[in-house]
Amino acid sequence: MPNPIYVLNGPNLNLLGKREPGIYGGQSLVDIEAGCKERAKELGLSVEFRQTNHEGLLIDWVQEAGEQSAGIVLNPGAYGHTSIALHDAIRAIAPVPVIEVHLSNIHAREPFRHHSMVSSVVEGLICGFGPIGYMLALDALAQRL
Ligand code: DQA
């Protein structure tokens, strides 16, 4: 089996299920983790699934994934809109592929969500499909391995 896929989640995603369900849906992050692990198993992959509310820790994990993963599925939450440090970390671990995922369609929301600091340095971007986006990202990574 190749190195695990790191599925990294940024701030407030621990509140999924309770947080604005009209936008983010009713599934909790635990549900999404279970879905990712099941999909990964079907693809012959393994998943290291994590969430943090802290920007520096997210960057530590991207760096760790640069050494120890086959690729990253990253929902950066709001740090995707703000974090140059996250942009730099993704660049620093090239060529490890990173797929950016957002549950909601960030382009159909407030203007401050339209720009992503990380989109220009990731392999691809999936947004607007809810939890299915995580599965699509795993499928895409599996094709590349
Ligand atoms: C999000 C979109 C971001 O704009 C927001 O800050 C989040 C979640 C999404 O998954 O749709 O926290 O990344």
With a 6 Å cutoff on the Cβ, whether 37 touches ligand 1 is: no
What's the pLDDT score for residue 39?
98
Atom from ligand 1 closest to the CA of residue 24? 11
- Residue 15 phi/psi, 5-degree rounding, is -95, 5
What's the pLDDT score for residue 1?
77
* Sheet strands side by side (includes 71-75): 47-51, 5-9, 71-75, 98-102, 124-127
The C-alpha atoms of residue 4 and residue 2 are separated, in whole angstroms, by 6
Q: 55-90, pLDDT tens digit by residue?
A: 999 999 999 999 999 999 999 999 999 999 999 999
Element (H, E) at 5: strand 5-9
The C-alpha atoms of residue 11 and residue 100 are separated, in whole angstroms, by 15
What's the pLDDT score for residue 65?
98
Distance 77 CA to ligand 1 centre (A): 4
What's the pLDDT score for residue 2?
82
With a 6 Å cutoff on the Cβ, whether 106 touches ligand 1 is: yes
Distance 4 CA to ligand 1 centre (A): 24
* Residues in the chain where the model's pLDDT stays below 70: none
Q: Is the pTM of this model over 0.95?
A: yes
Q: For a pocket test of ligand 1, which of 102, 103, 110, 129 has the largest count of ligand atoms closer than 8 A to its C-beta?
A: 102
